[in-house]
């Protein structure tokens, strides 16, 4: 079986997948989960294994349905253009709002972030089913901002970061475009080596897959359908 197909199956079955964006970009590996399986234990494992910023991922067009926009564009509307700069990899970041679910205690605890993530996944599911008014009503009644979970809005075809690559993988897996990603930082000042990451993938009963492999598979088997 193709490595991308294995990764997609693992993701669909609730396992994490390790996703490398490429040496021409951040040259980082993110751990990726489908959002609806994120329990407090999953957040704890992500925090201990990865150590980066835990983010919720969905499609840009879903964000537009909810009336939210990329953070950089919001800053421009607020005349804060001087703060908007492109990162080293050269394109506009995927960050939108940071939110908490209304039922959390502080927002940052494992139980809190897992609740926020799972409830965001329910909003995405409502949009997928065409229940747009209900999705918007539930989003604005059940969440508040600023919070502790950043929402990333992916733009497949316009950008090629972990946000978009994870969404491609979700589409290959035929699961909802509602994911959690987090950078794997390792224990030193540098990122882990590929050998270390492959050993981690084995330990987690999953695979390490490259963004280039995901993108090629997506273009060949999804876009061309």
Distances, alpha carbon 203 to alpha carbons 9, 46, 162, 197, 210, in Å: 17, 14, 22, 10, 18
Percentage, residues of the chain above pLDDT 90: 84
Q: 26 falls in which pLDDT band (50, 70, 90)?
A: confident
**100 is annotated as an active-site residue:** yes
What is the predicted pLDDT for the residue at 47? 95
Burial (Cβ within 10 Å: 0-12, 13-18, ≥19) of residue 116: buried
**30 is annotated as an active-site residue:** yes
What is the predicted pLDDT for the residue at 225? 63
Choosing from 26, 55, 110, 215, the catalytic residue is 55
Cα 42 from chain centroid (whole Å): 14
**182 is annotated as an active-site residue:** no
Quick check: 221 pLDDT over 80?
Answer: yes
**205 is annotated as an active-site residue:** no
* pTM listed for this prediction: 0.95
For the segment 71-85, the average pLDDT, to the nearest whole number, is: 90
CATH superfamily of 3-223: DHBP synthase (3.90.870.10)
Choosing from 20, 21, 100, 101, the catalytic residue is 100
For the segment 35-52, the average pLDDT, to the nearest whole number, is: 96
Choosing from 5, 15, 45, 89, the catalytic residue is 89
Q: What is the signed CA dihedral for 29, 31, 34, 38, rounded to 10 degrees?
A: -160
For the segment 189-193, the average pLDDT, to the nearest whole number, is: 78
For the segment 31-51, the average pLDDT, to the nearest whole number, is: 97
Choosing from 28, 119, 164, 183, the catalytic residue is 183
Domain borders along the chain are 3-223
Quick check: 81 pLDDT over 70?
Answer: yes
Q: 155 falls in which pLDDT band (50, 70, 90)?
A: very high
Choosing from 30, 110, 119, 164, the catalytic residue is 30
Q: 109 falls in which pLDDT band (50, 70, 90)?
A: very high
Cα 74 from chain centroid (whole Å): 20
Distances, alpha carbon 112 to alpha carbons 6, 156, 204, 216, 222, in Å: 31, 29, 24, 37, 35
Where is pLDDT greater, at 192 or 207?
Answer: 207
């Amino acid at each position: 079986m193709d490595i991308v197909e294995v990764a997609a199956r693992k993701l669909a079955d609730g396992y994490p997948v390790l996703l490398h964006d490429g040496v021409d970009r951040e040259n980082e590996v993110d751990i990726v989960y489908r959002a609806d399986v994120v329990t407090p234990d999953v957040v704890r494992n992500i925090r201990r294994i990865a150590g980066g910023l835990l983010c919720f991922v969905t499609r840009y067009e879903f964000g537009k349905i909810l009336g939210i926009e990329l953070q950089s564009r919001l800053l421009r509307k607020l005349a804060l253009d001087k703060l908007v700069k492109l990162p080293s990899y050269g394109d506009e970041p995927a960050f939108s709002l940071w939110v908490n679910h209304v039922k959390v205690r502080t927002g940052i605890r494992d139980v809190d972030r897992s609740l926020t993530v799972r409830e965001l996944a329910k909003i995405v599911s409502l949009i997928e089913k065409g229940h747009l008014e209900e999705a918007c009503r539930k989003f604005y009644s059940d969440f508040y901002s600023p919070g502790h979970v950043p929402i990333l809005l992916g733009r497949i075809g316009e950008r090629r970061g972990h946000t978009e690559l994870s969404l491609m993988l979700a589409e290959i897996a035929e699961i909802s475009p509602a994911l959690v990603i987090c950078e794997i930082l390792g224990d030193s000042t540098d990122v882990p080596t590929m050998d270390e990451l492959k050993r981690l993938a084995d330990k987690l009963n999953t695979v390490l897959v490259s963004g280039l492999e995901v993108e090629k598979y997506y273009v060949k088997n999804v876009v061309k359908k």
